């Protein structure tokens, strides 16, 4: 699954560790999500969407899908 979590985090000048604290997950989890090595659970995806005030579909998309 592709995502733009890294871009959203960078726009706010947040470290992976700070984002992890806000989401109550480890920095390693944030890193794995950003690199596409880990797909977040649905509750975590909703938490991310609420934190960035975006729809889940604006942050995550299945590879091969084009949301434009």
Q: Domains of the chain: which residue ranges?
A: 2-55
- Position 67 scores a pLDDT of 46
Q: What is the DSSP string of 7-53?
A: HHHHHTT--HHHHHHHHTS-HHHHHHHHTTS-PPPHHHHHHHHHHHT
Q: Which CATH superfamily is domain 2-55 in?
A: lambda repressor-like DNA-binding domains (1.10.260.40)
Measured CA to CA in angstroms, residue 44 lies from 23, 28, 60, 64, 66 at distances of: 8, 15, 12, 22, 22
**How far is it, in rounded angstroms, from Cα 68 to Cα 63?**
13
Residue 68 has pLDDT above 50, yes or no: no
Question: In this predicted model, what pLDDT tens digit does every residue of 10-63 receive, in sequence order?
Answer: 999 999 999 999 999 999 999 999 999 999 999 999 999 999 999 999 999 876
pTM (two decimals): 0.87
**How far is it, in rounded angstroms, from Cα 30 to Cα 36?**
10
């Amino acid at each position: 699954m592709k995502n733009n979590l890294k871009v959203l985090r960078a726009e706010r000048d947040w470290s992976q560790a700070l984002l992890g604290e806000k989401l109550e997950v480890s920095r390693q989890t944030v890193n794995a999500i950003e690199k596409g090595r880990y797909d977040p659970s649905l509750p975590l995806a909703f938490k991310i969407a609420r934190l960035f005030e975006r729809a889940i579909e604006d942050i995550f998309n299945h590879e091969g899908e084009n949301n434009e």
